Amino acid sequence: MVQKKKCDEQDVLVVRDEKTGEISVVAGLSRDGTPKRAPAKSENTSDFLRFDRNSDLMDSFFRNFFRQCKEPSRFGFYRIAADQVENLLGVMKELLKDPEANKEILSAHKVDTSNYEKEAKQSEGQAKETASSDDASKTQANTEKENVSSEQTNEKKNDMEQKPEQIATEQQAQTAPGVKQNLISGNDVNLQELGAKYGIDFNSMNEKDMKALLNYGKTGLVIVKPTFGGEQIEIQARLSFRKDDNDQLQLVPHFVRNEPKLDVAYKGYTFTPEDKKNLLQNGNLGKVVDFPDKNTGELRPHFISIDRLTNEIVDIPTNKVRIPDTIGKTPITKDDKRVLYSGIPLRKEIELANGRKFTPLLQVNVEQRGVEFVPGSTRQAQGQKQNGDKKQTADKQEQKAEGDAGGQKKQQDPNYWLNEDGTIRRLNTYFKKELTEQQKDDYVAGKTIEIKEVPNKNGSGTYTAYVKFDFDKMQPRSYRNNPDLKQAKEQIPTNENKVQVAVNEQGKTHEATKHTKEPLSPGQSAPKNEKQQKEQNAEEQKPKRKARSVKM
């Protein structure tokens, strides 16, 4: 079996158009010698041309570039590691907005192309010198040059334009167009063997978890069934791949703990009482801690958080976290970033694309490698701590009712119900009912949507639910009454439902249906079937008892 080249032995080239200031990533070479470019966004990583450090692909690229491109000085090239491309792209784009001011920082990444340029000029000079020797040799030289150039052009066309697919073939199995390639392939790990060892059914793992696992991320909670002492036990855990000291991939199960181990030193650092309070309250340390780099020994600042799913203490270097320039419509200033990069939480008013404003607590989350809204922070900011125990009970009941809409995913990711830019994520179904396009649009706009004929939990009839995004809890919430009618204690039912509400919810009686045993359906004002009609008639035909007088 051919050993696949590892992603950590590859580079990609960030290219800056010095005329327009456009920043992108090299995806190949065009016929005119200009670099093919892909937008410098993490979702385009499958289009990026990857250069193996042990091959001459990058040399070939630049030789062809300087030989063919008419304006080679128009482009500046910067090398970054392929396995860090998602983390570094945002930083590089920011630095390259002003390359002169950031010259010192960029020097470590800038590709020195002077030798390629010199080589191209020498080749051009030699060709001219040979061509001017005499007319005959000139004709011959030009003919040979045209033939060679034609062959090179065809080779370069086939070579450079198809290079990403060729590299994918060398490193991983070739993927279909538009499908992002995983950083870890089936040839790098034996999932069948690992599944047997740990009792994991990788085939039943959902696509999101599998994608995270094969791209050096963590899965959500999955069932692991390892065997100890000949007996198989069932445990919940998150899974990830890490490389050992021999550069071999190892599967790491992150088991669920009852509580985080805050009384034990973490990588040599002892948590103070204030640290423990911050970790338990917000899930983040509230500052950065220096840990030595495992390769160089150099001290680097790290964020420390608690994995909310497993209670495991986790950390990440600050330079591997990207803080966005905007959240929703709200710009994140340099001062904001300075606070967040120092590990300190930041209270900031956020305006979403739909105009909705709220004031959450922002902080860096290690698991997300980015900024999160601290769960419950909006509610705290607005002083809405009312009847804590009752609210917890209501939350549990609501979570159970909303399970089919993604309750489990909500638990795994506090920001699951929001898009990356802070806008409300679109719903397609709720309570197992397909939403109309109008309902989807209204929900995303922060409006209340009405869902009819939602089955009661006990199976007795249906009711109308009202669903709206709750900015306090950062998730959708369902109501029996329209939450927009704030001044009314209860929603005024429609004419067709007045009887149903009065009988089922207010305990009143209705003469035409008072002897039926089942709850009334929406719009019902008379027995709805033969069974109810018999119940009603049977009670009406019973002899009425005379009222007894009371002796004084």
Instruction: Assign 140 a pLDDT band (cuts: 50, 70, 90).
Output: very low
List the domain range (segments joined by +) for residue 504.
496-539
The pLDDT assigned to 137 comes to 44
Mean pLDDT of 432-448: 86
428 and 333 inside one domain = no
Return the SS3 of 143. Answer: helix
435 and 360 inside one domain = no
442 and 340 inside one domain = no
> Is residue 415 in some structural domain?
yes
- pTM for the predicted model, two decimal places: 0.42
Residue 420: pLDDT above 80?
no
Instruction: Assign 307 a pLDDT band (cuts: 50, 70, 90).
Output: very high
Q: Residue 278 has which token pair?
A: 């911050």
> Is residue 248 in some structural domain?
yes
The pLDDT assigned to 318 comes to 92
Where is the domain boundary, 381, 408, 424? 381
| Cβ pair 81, 87 in contact under 8 A | no
What number of helices (H) and strands (E) belong to the chain? 16, 25
24 and 131 inside one domain = yes
The pLDDT assigned to 489 comes to 43
Write out pLDDT tens, residues 262-297: 999 999 999 999 999 999 988 999 999 999 887 788
Q: Residue 521 has which token pair?
A: 């359906």
71 and 140 inside one domain = yes
| Alpha-carbon torsion angle 37, 38, 41, 44, nearest 10 | -150
127 and 13 inside one domain = yes
Which among 484, 466, 486 is positioned nearest to 476, based on CA atoms?
466
Total of domains in the chain: 5
Write out pLDDT tens, residues 375-393: 776 655 555 444 444 444 4
Q: In sequence order, what are the residues at sequence separation of 6 or more whose Cβ sits closer than 8 angstroms to the Cβ of residue 284?
A: 278, 303, 304, 305, 306, 343, 345, 363, 364, 365, 366, 374
464 and 443 inside one domain = yes
Which among 239, 368, 215, 220 is positioned nearest to 306, based on CA atoms?
368
> Is residue 42 in some structural domain?
yes
Highest mean pLDDT among 8-12, 310-314, 470-474: 310-314
> Is residue 500 in some structural domain?
yes
Which among 407, 324, 406, 419 is positioned nearest to 369, based on CA atoms?
324
> Is residue 75 in some structural domain?
yes
446 and 522 inside one domain = no
Give CA–CA dist 79/111, Å, rounded.
6
The pLDDT assigned to 169 comes to 36
Residue 538: pLDDT above 60?
yes
Return the SS3 of 203. Answer: helix
Q: In sequence order, what are the residues at sequence separation of 6 or more whose Cβ sits closer than 8 angstroms to the Cβ of residue 414?
A: 308, 372, 373, 375, 474
Q: Residue 25 has which token pair?
A: 């990533």
Instruction: Assign 442 a pLDDT band (cuts: 50, 70, 90).
Output: confident
Give CA–CA dist 288/138, Å, rounded.
69
Where is the domain boundary, 381, 416, 449? 381
31 and 119 inside one domain = yes
Which of 377-391, 454-468, 524-538 has the lowest average pLDDT? 377-391
SS (H, E, C) 45-60: HHHCCCEECCCCHHHH
232 and 359 inside one domain = no
Residue 233: pLDDT above 90?
no
331 and 318 inside one domain = yes
Phi, psi of 163 (to 5 degrees): -60, -45
**106 or 545, greater pLDDT:** 106
Residue 434: pLDDT above 50?
yes
Highest mean pLDDT among 118-127, 226-235, 348-357: 348-357
Write out pLDDT tens, residues 164-184: 334 333 334 344 444 557 788
> Is residue 166 in some structural domain?
yes
The pLDDT assigned to 24 comes to 92
Q: Any idea what the Cα angle at residue 18 is, between residues 14 and 21, rounded to 5°?
A: 75
Q: In sequence order, what are the residues at sequence separation of 6 or more whose Cβ sits closer than 8 angstroms to the Cβ of residue 173?
A: 185, 186, 187
The pLDDT assigned to 14 comes to 94
Which among 282, 480, 490, 295 is positioned nearest to 377, based on CA atoms?
282
469 and 529 inside one domain = no
